[in-house]
Structure 1
Amino acid sequence: MTLTPPDNSMHAEKFGQLFVVATPIGNLQDITQRALQVLESVDWIAAEDTRHSKKLCQHFGINTRLISLHDFNEQERSQQLLAKLQAGESGALISDAGTPLISDPGYHLVSLLRDSGVRVTPVPGPSAMITALCAAGMPTDRFSFEGFLPAKAPKRLAVLQSLVHEPRTLVFYESTHRLMDSLAAMASAFGEARLVTVAKELTKQFERFVSGTFAEVIVQFEENVDWQRGEFVVMVAGDSKDADEIIEFDNLAKICLAQGLPVKQISEIVADFYQIKKKVVYQRLLELKETDA
């Protein structure tokens, strides 16, 4: 069965369409009426874990066929789903929880479908990142979503060190078994005095927000071992001091760029003048060049 796309559809009716459907991150009452209608109406649902999604469907009395689509089969499965959609079927993409593609599978499928002229329709709903930010009491006018950090300690620390001077609120996802290691690495990179808020088990029975400096938050989790179980969103305050410095050294960097100096040389000049790490300046120069391009 092919669902009729909205009136503003720019695609021909000869293909079906894929709905990217957000599902609850904990509390099942958060599912939208539109999401339920779509999941009931499509020919199939592509799910990250069909066993997990089967429970969701059973709860709402949805009998639509489930097809697995996860990190290990996405590229091959995407071709199969493309063929189904081109044959006139319509489908839905869901993840285990929240909005698909946000640190979850689906990018390859959506990219392939758009390149192939198949309509992709978002059905908005829960997102752990947005849910955490709106109740954390941290700046939300500008933020940077970093997803999950690398599992190996050296790579994890390298990523964090590259973000030390980022002025925006930083948002990370973390799991039970890596929470304490990640908090320790963040404290090492950002300093124990940097402010952080950890949101635990959002929308669930044991939802909790833990805020303070890294030193304070780590102690709270060490003293309450039960808090270490669950799924987490970690939000780190941006480096406000360097937000002003970046504005200042932008002017000098732009002058040097206008003179045609090599980026590496400019990085050395600006870093030496403002006593800032060359890596930070180099990254900002690349951003400025891309903006002017």
Structure 2
Amino acid sequence: MPPILYLIPTPLGTPDTPCLLPHEAAQISGLTDFVVEAEKTARAHLKHLGITTPIRELNLQTLNEHTDPNTVSELLKPLQEGRSTGLLSEAGCPAVADPGARLVALAHAHGFEVRPLVGPSSILLALMASGANGQNFAFKGYLPSEKSERIDALKALEKRSRAHNETQIFIETPYRNDALLGDALEHLSPATLLCTASDLTLPTQTVTSKTVADWHKMPALPNLKKRPTIFVLYAG
């Protein structure tokens, strides 16, 4: 059987949270080769994914934002030697807002089968829960960290959303979430829909989706500090 690059989702919460369909878990149970973002967390995830190979005997190679682009092709070696390989991100779906996309592109270029497995994507979960336009949307990644640039970016996203009837999805480093929310509520139009989706799939999950005007009527804003959060903006 030709080797396959499996795109293996991992939990958004604790490593023991179920996130694979049973028949897909069976497909990867015998894998020995994996490309991961961080070995420590990957080992914790793999322990709960039903991998039959002893964890200490697994071949783990690292691919993250610090990986030299010129060395990514070396990660194809197990596939080239005929061994199927699993690709994991730190949380959620690999290759979505994730450096693993580089390996996926190379696998296609070399003619290997790429097989995505079903699992959680915080981006899609937030969109689903927001009530914004799910027919036309864009993920913008991180906004600028500098305040004036961040405000300009928010206004530009709102303008694009209104002009194209397009939902805008973006994220922030958790410790800056509250600052981003504050800037959005101060500078976006009252009728614009703004959703924050925090701690998705966890017991502490919180999704708040309101117009900016209605956000201002809340007795208190949610505390987003240190909580993984997806922001959804819709001005269509």
What TM-score, normalized by structure 1, do the two folds share?
0.68
Cα 1:35/1:217, change in 2 over 3 Å: farther
Equivalent residue runs for 1:153-232 within 5 Å: 153-165=147-159, 166=161, 167-214=165-212, 216-217=214-215, 223-225=221-223, 227-232=224-229
Unaligned 5+ runs, structure 2: none
Among residues 28, 31, 34, which one is paired with 1:42 in the alignment?
A: 31
Match of 1:179, SS?
helix
Equivalent residues of 1:171, 1:236 under 8 A apart:
yes
Distance 1:56 1:123 in 2: 15
* Equivalent pair of 1:74/1:108 in contact (CA under 8 Å): no
Computed over aligned residues only, the root mean square deviation of the Cα atoms, in angstroms, reads 2.5
Consecutive unaligned residues in structure 1, runs of 5 or more = 5-12, 241-293
Q: Would you say the 8 A contact 1:144–1:170 is kept in 2?
A: yes
CA shift, 1:76, in A, is: 4.3
Q: Deviations over 1:112-167 (max 9, x none)?
A: 22222222222232111111222222332222222222333344334333322222
Q: How high is the TM-score relative to the length of structure 2?
A: 0.82
* CA contact 1:74–1:105 (8 Å) conserved in 2: no
The match for 1:286 is none
1:136 aligns with 2:130: yes
Task: Indicate conservation of the 8 Å contact 2:194/2:209, yes or no.
Answer: yes
Q: Which has the higher contact order (CA 8 A, sep 6+)?
A: 2
The answer on 1:57 being equivalent to 2:46 is yes
Aligned to 2:121: 127
Q: Within the alignment, does 1:22 sit opposite 2:9 as a pair?
A: yes
Percent identity between the aligned chains?
26
Equivalent position of 1:69 in the other structure: 63
Q: Report the 3-state secondary structure (helix = DSSP H, G, I; strand = E; otherwise coil) of the residue aligned with 1:187.
A: helix
Equivalent AA in structure 2 for residue 65 of structure 1:
N
Rg (Cα) greater in structure: 1
Maintained 8 Å contact 1:194/1:214: yes
Whichever structure has more helix as a proportion of its residues is 1
The DSSP-based 3-state class of the residue aligned with 2:138 is strand
